[in-house]
Amino acid sequence: RSKSPVRISFGGGGSDTTTYFKSSKGAVINATISVFTHCSLKIRPDSKISIDSLDLNSKVDFKNIGELNSYQGPFSLITSTISTINPKFGLDLYLHSDYPISSGLGGSAVVVTSILGCFNELRNDKWTNHEISEIAYQIERLRLGVDGGWQDQYATAFGGINHMEFEKEKNFIYPLRLNRNVISELEESLVLCYTGMKHDSGNIHTDQKKKTKDLKTKEKIKNNVELTQRIKYYMMRGEVHKIGKCLHESWNLKRTFSKKISNEKIDKIYNKALKNGATGGKLLGAGGGGFFLFFTPYYDKHKLLKWIKSENLEHTPFVFENKGLRSWKVRVNQN
């Protein structure tokens, strides 16, 4: 079995793409939270491969790996992961997530990583977190051809609150060793709110990829990278109250990267949140829908939560998850 956490991001979005950091240094700050994808893998005595996804509310069966390799459809993310591993045995795979699909929490990378975690338990020479991250990236970005960055794969594999830097030749992950008081205050001040709108991150990233070559867009992404240094500074010094303004700046930069990132409904939600206790926030992931991450002072949190409920939006409580991908073996009762 395995479980892998989703991530929330504070700043630097757009700079973790190869298109950007092959010519300019990228950086992001993100954190994994107590929202997971859960995966179970059971080896079969035959060559049949059965996949059961509660997220897709569907099940699909294949006679063997050859039939699975030719599949195209809603299970492609899962089948491509299995196909990359190329197991020499049949299996039953069960998947379910604590969050809606296409919601901006890096879910695709989390699903792939959770599957890799189960397969890793069957290996003698275990993959490292770096190797799992890179395999997950190759499956989603190269094999499936979905545009996007690197942070999701690293975040879910490693876990914790991290400052990540991206360069042409190497990527670096620096865990932030924050005081417990700072972590508690962040957990108390951050509010995760689901808009009810799904997004297509691949299309948004494709549009953004074209514009990354534009000097104005590159300058905005650079400003977003510089913002991560401020956020890191405030976190390390315990100046948590200043992070709301940083999220506001990050969102105002991000929404200019592509016209597909925001829309009238999203703008309306954000502006109303600012009038009801939030001092800042940003749409997570590529944009276009999914989750908002709001920052609110403790004395206004109740007001913000009350407004979220009145708008029929969904509040998702969370705490930070210090560990990334976890996997383990369990003895199955045959009766």
**C-beta neighbour count of 256 within 10 angstroms:** 13
267 is catalytic: no
- For the cut 70, the answer to whether the pLDDT of residue 211 exceeds it is no
Whether residues 103 and 206 fall in one domain: no
Residue 236 lies in a domain: yes
Q: In terms of residue numbers, what domain contains 211?
A: 180-315
pLDDT tens column, 115-132: 999 999 999 999 999 999
Residue 36 lies in a domain: yes
pLDDT tens column, 134-180: 999 999 999 999 888 999 999 999 999 999 999 998 999 999 999 99
Over the chain, what is the mean pLDDT?
93
Whether residues 72 and 199 fall in one domain: no
- Of 39-48, 153-162, 169-178, 286-295, the poorest mean pLDDT is in 286-295
What is residue 259's predicted lDDT score, i.e. its pLDDT?
Answer: 84
The phi-psi region of residue 69 (left if phi > 0; otherwise alpha if psi is between -120 and 50; otherwise beta) is: alpha
CATH code for the domain in which residue 287 is found: 3.30.70.890
What is residue 214's predicted lDDT score, i.e. its pLDDT?
Answer: 73
Whether residues 75 and 147 fall in one domain: yes
What is residue 203's predicted lDDT score, i.e. its pLDDT?
Answer: 61
Which of 55, 98, 152, 267 is catalytic? The answer is 152
**C-beta neighbour count of 100 within 10 angstroms:** 19
pLDDT band at 200 (very low <50, low <70, confident <90, very high): low
Whether residues 190 and 259 fall in one domain: yes
Q: Is 2 or 332 the better-scoring residue by pLDDT?
A: 2
pLDDT tens column, 249-263: 999 998 888 888 889
Helix%, strand%, coil% for the chain, nearest 5: 40, 20, 35
Report how many domains make up the chain: 2
Whether residues 36 and 167 fall in one domain: yes
Q: What does the DSSP 8-state code read for residue 272?
A: H
Residue 333 lies in a domain: no
